Amino acid sequence: MTSSEKLELIIATADDMKADRIETLDVRSKTSICDYFVVCSGTSDRHIQSIAERIEEKMIEHKQKPTRTEGDGSGWVLQDFGDVIVHVMREEQRQFYDLETLWKSMGPDPSLGPPK
């Protein structure tokens, strides 16, 4: 499964689970850890957990088990699917950490070569 296919499935699943403000960050030119971040919000810890669980279920159906999941019950769940990393956050954490601005303001890493 390509990173673009993973991305589409994750976004569709988050949307089906009524995640708020689903945003994709293309970080291919900025880091070698992954190709994309998906950042979305849930309305409560239970909603966040439900979104993350459903994303994991859908990805496992496509033979894509997360290599790591962190943050159960903390208001922020991170799921690492290799080339796509998912952040499901409470709005308060999302505004505080502001991952979107952090990664958008970061310049390309010259050691990664030309953008894909």
For the chain, what are the domain ranges? 3-102
Predicted TM-score (pTM) of the model is: 0.90
For residues 99 and 25, the answer to whether their CB atoms sit within 8 Å is yes
Nearest 5°: phi and psi at 65?
Answer: -80, 140
Q: Any idea which architecture 3-102 has in CATH? A: 2-Layer Sandwich (3.30)
pLDDT above 60: residue 116: no
CB-based contacts of 53, cutoff 8 Å, min separation 6: none
From the list 80, 91, 90, 73, the residue with the least C-alpha distance to 38 is 80
Q: Average pLDDT of 50-71?
A: 95
Q: 76: which 2 tokens?
A: 């922020």
For residues 41 and 21, the answer to whether their CB atoms sit within 8 Å is yes
For residues 25 and 37, the answer to whether their CB atoms sit within 8 Å is yes
pLDDT-derived band at 8 (thresholds 50, 70, 90) equals very high
Dump pLDDT digits (tens) for 9-31. 999 999 999 999 999 999 999 99
For residues 24 and 38, the answer to whether their CB atoms sit within 8 Å is yes
Dump pLDDT digits (tens) for 69-80. 998 778 999 999
Say how many residues make up the chain. 116
